[in-house]
Structure 1
């Protein structure tokens, strides 16, 4: 059987496909328009009303068309209801139908040409044009699609659907060839919506016509006010034209009113209408309702020329075309790539400089360029043409988002990749970005860095299971080069975040915290720059607004001061500040557990055993409820195996990530001893020997009987040797031999002690 989806897989033409770059009205045309008026006042006056701006319509001949559809940006001059815009042909004001206002300064309108022959012009701005002077719309040509916000209604009742649609807020509208859409073609934010198609069918001959509708969710098709096909309720579309779906109706030759209502309770709504002319038998054979039935050829889409005002004949103008998007893994927000082209009068831009401000803190120069918006949104794009030292500016509020119709995956419109935009991002000023855009920029570089990430060693905990199962990326690159490339992009992400956060003024706790959680570990664990990680957290802290956000910043700063920089006095200041913000840490699971853990480690560093163990126990109680005992045992073992593997393979940043997650999930393991031992091995590999000795001293306070204390003491002695603190190393080894005579490490300890004792005396 025929599949409706296959037969009607036509696409609604996007705004950019219809009118961008079709050319602008020439200087000659503008000059003729100006000369045809008696003066500037007359140029902007129609039907006794004066407007502020004029745009010519490039429509020299109508070619039999009766309705024109134009799209342009009005630089904030048209009110939201479109009350101060008209289309005129000469001195005659034409019937106008406002199709869409917004988002931003976007305007789409239709005008009826009647007997007018032009020149056609759009006049707008200033006071509202009186309604009694507007000619009534009489054209019956074309099929109009209207999209409105979703409103609760009974999906099984046409009357309920119709009433809800008529009272809902309009989103957008346009003329289309036939009834077909998948998703909301005018959406800026995904979500449920309602749609309606209205037009006049010109039935070529009297006969029987069978109608179909397929939709997700409900749909109702009406001819002359009567339902002839329906699919009520909430359901997926019908992909096969099964017998029984068709509704036959007798129609006479001539005009018939056509209406089609549809409600989508999600962003994925689908709507299709089809028919059969003189259907025979029960074997379905639907075809799309031909555009000619709605006289679609009577609709033309002329280009719109640059604006002029009463005081300035030549003003800048530009066109924008969204080329596509670049998706980032596990991120619903894409990067949006847009092309900008100057469309100003040639007399204005000849020998002039053209500058751009993109509304996201970034700038550009030249008649055309491609810009990457790090997130969709409404941006004020300002073009400035500087000629003979005099600037001419044109700001437009433009929605920049994914195109409503995905580009084909072949030819010029093939999907964009991250590599296509990185060179553009390299030119950006991070400090000028808002928090969300800065986060997106950092994630772009981190995504590129992940392409060079080696596969995880066996028996490791790996968050991204798909990546773990996938073949290793860049397998043709040797490991040394791969790691070099990965670190290059990690460093770029860190530099972007550092420049943006420390030199910018971003706000927004959620975005700032996500950014800090991403990049501070890169500074701390990948590049062993704990000082930079600390500066990032403390630098952003004054901009954080909520108490939990500020408490988190203090806690992480305290962690760095205590465990990386060995500055317990500074750490205590941050812990005290966090306690005041949390008021009662035991009432906050994650932040409270972190506060108690750090309190325990601080007490251990100061020799207060009972207080240290009690604080760590309280931290454990706060996180213990996250998993049952079986899960806790499995995760504890997985964390330890992962850390061991990463330490053996020299992937110290990944080892640090595992150790930190282990410390937070199982804080009481610090007392057991194996966790501090692996931390000691990590810091020894980093060359931070003083941290190794501090860890050994803490474990001696917390649990001198730990089964791992001897190994950590031996590692501490080796760290002291590396620090040229030979006397301290000897004392540690002598203590190990005296206090743990049955240790399997006695032989290795004696050997190292003998070596130190036979060496030259330590210089004071």
Structure 2
């Protein structure tokens, strides 16, 4: 551990806190970092005390320079979650110096020191804040030199968005505010350079970073007394979890901010990510234009990268319903260059099947794409990943038949898909299906809509024969509403109602559908849906809200 600390390239950040209990890095990437906790603690009375460590990967602690409780090596929290890794020490009342060191690798993280303030057997508990001495609070009141106020700013990460249709990428929104301790003259003009080719003006601005990495942010202030410039090395790092500090944003909000970027100053990676963001943020026409700019500015990009750009352009064209559908499909398939891996090809064809068969309501054209996916699967070297991808293709075609109202055909395809996966006993199946709604509700209560959508995807992929029950469609629509995507929510909420009239979630589904219709300026349809909700005859909160809204 000492060597790891000595070899570290630098500190991500530091702060005072009255606990040793963290599950992520609050200052930077949560991959391969070291946490160091050092400070004075106040033992309330002399006697025996027990301490336990719960950590994911190695942790070491010391009290007054002597070993307290160590848990070295590679391990997860499960083996110590109940305080199995512990020690007992006799302490005098008063101040003692505590140190705790923790190193992590990717995925799950935990650094935790608990106690039992006695020597007898029993459960361990969190250490109260009063055990940790409180620092004196200090606040900077002014930044200035002999000439007057100094220009300052400090960036704050507001939230982030993970792409839903890809397993990579992150968009990060950061707020920049010029310092006001003391404020510069009111006539001061502020110019921001975000380090990624984009600029803005004003004392307070927000910016969406399309890629990760270190960015040098520059603020220039022009005031009557002259010009000041200050810089900040901003690390835009991967955020792995939605927590109070790092919340989840909405793609449409991000797309609105990024739509006006100077595309001639973005890197190739930046343009690629902007294209994806605009496509996911309901700006398909802008995504097509970004694709054109990308192909024009970087004509020598590798074939696979160019193919992905063209594919997304074709995807947006299909979604917009512009031009000849056969031509759009041909462009889409042509973008699957020979370098495209078989798994990616199958996933792309599954996506195209849904676009054509569900969104564009052309089931027979979707069937011909399904036949081509069959050929792709047969010609590929079959392994577990290819098998899973082909399973997703079969499910996609089942979705098309379900949307057509051909339930028997849909169930047949869903059954075929489930047989392509591992057998799941009925008891396990029932338990998992019953757990999804509770888990989804927990995600929504914490604002983690990205993880909620991932879970709905897993639900649909693991148990496609459950789709005709409409439950997963309801939850997908509910999550999309929370995510600020009412147009997409309409499709799934409407389908959930059509599939299972009389279900326990019908009134909430109708209420959410009415809200989604209202938010997409389909006011008359929204009123009709509220009337249908009242007509269901169930006296619950959604019916009451519908009655009140119809009175307005």
Band of TM-score, shorter chain:
0.5 to 0.7
When residues 556 and 514 of structure 1 are mapped into structure 2, their CA distance, relative to the original with a 3 A threshold, is: closer
Residue deviations 1:10-47 (CA, integer Å, cap 9, x gap): xxxxxxxxxxxxxxxxxxxxxxxxxxxxxxxxxxxxxx
Q: Which residue number corresponds to residue 573 of structure 1?
A: none
Cα drift, residue 235 of structure 1:
2.3
Q: Is the 8 A contact 1:183 1:267 kept in 2?
A: no
Cα distance in 2, alignment partners of residues 365 and 424 from structure 1: 14
Q: Which residue number corresponds to residue 291 of structure 2?
A: 497
Q: Which residue number corresponds to residue 209 of structure 1?
A: 49
When residues 347 and 282 of structure 1 are mapped into structure 2, their CA distance, relative to the original with a 3 A threshold, is: closer
1:541-560 equivalences in 2 (<5 Å): none
Which of residues 183, 189, 203 in structure 2 aligns to 1:353? 189
Cα drift, residue 248 of structure 1:
1.7
Q: Which residue number corresponds to residue 274 of structure 1?
A: 114
When residues 513 and 222 of structure 1 are mapped into structure 2, their CA distance, relative to the original with a 3 A threshold, is: same
Cα distance in 2, alignment partners of residues 165 and 387 from structure 1: 44
Counterpart secondary structure, 2:106: coil
Counterpart secondary structure, 2:235: strand
1:210-289 equivalences in 2 (<5 Å): 210-238=50-78, 242=82, 245-279=85-119, 281-288=120-127
Cα distance in 2, alignment partners of residues 655 and 528 from structure 1: 21
In angstroms, what is the RMSD of aligned CA positions?
4.7
Cα distance in 2, alignment partners of residues 518 and 389 from structure 1: 54
Structure of greater relative contact order (alpha carbons < 8 Å, 6+ residues apart): 1
Q: Which residue number corresponds to residue 338 of structure 2?
A: 590
Residue deviations 1:719-749 (CA, integer Å, cap 9, x gap): xxxxxxxxxxxxxxxxxxxxxxxxxxxxxxx
Residue deviations 1:250-272 (CA, integer Å, cap 9, x gap): 11234433222323233422111
Residue deviations 1:472-495 (CA, integer Å, cap 9, x gap): xxxxxxxxxxxxxxxxx3322102
Residue deviations 1:204-261 (CA, integer Å, cap 9, x gap): 4321111111111232332234333233433222588747654221112344332223
1:183 equivalent to 2:24? Answer yes
Counterpart secondary structure, 2:275: helix
When residues 374 and 202 of structure 1 are mapped into structure 2, their CA distance, relative to the original with a 3 A threshold, is: same
1:449-528 equivalences in 2 (<5 Å): 449=282, 489-502=283-296, 504=297, 509=302, 512-513=305-306, 515-522=308-315, 527=322
1:310-321 equivalences in 2 (<5 Å): 313-321=148-156
Q: Is the 8 A contact 1:316 1:394 kept in 2?
A: yes
Q: Which residue number corresponds to residue 267 of structure 2?
A: 434
Q: Is the 8 A contact 2:149 2:182 kept in 1?
A: no
Residue deviations 1:570-608 (CA, integer Å, cap 9, x gap): xxxxxxxxxxxxxxxxxxx935xx9xxxxxxxxxxxxxx
Q: Is the 8 A contact 1:185 1:405 kept in 2?
A: no
Cα distance in 1, alignment partners of residues 274 and 190 from structure 2: 26
Q: Which residue number corresponds to residue 159 of structure 2?
A: 324
Residue deviations 1:36-59 (CA, integer Å, cap 9, x gap): xxxxxxxxxxxxxxxxxxxxxxxx
Cα drift, residue 663 of structure 1:
8.3
Cα distance in 2, alignment partners of residues 643 and 200 from structure 1: 61
Cα distance in 2, alignment partners of residues 434 and 193 from structure 1: 29
1:157-196 equivalences in 2 (<5 Å): 161-172=1-12, 174=14, 175-188=16-29, 190-196=30-36
Structure 2 length-normalised TM: 0.54
Q: Which residue number corresponds to residue 416 of structure 1?
A: 249
Q: Which residue number corresponds to residue 300 of structure 1?
A: 137
Q: Is the 8 A contact 2:173 2:208 kept in 1?
A: yes
Residue deviations 1:372-425 (CA, integer Å, cap 9, x gap): 22223322222222335964433332223467984449xxx9632112223212
Structure 1 length-normalised TM: 0.41
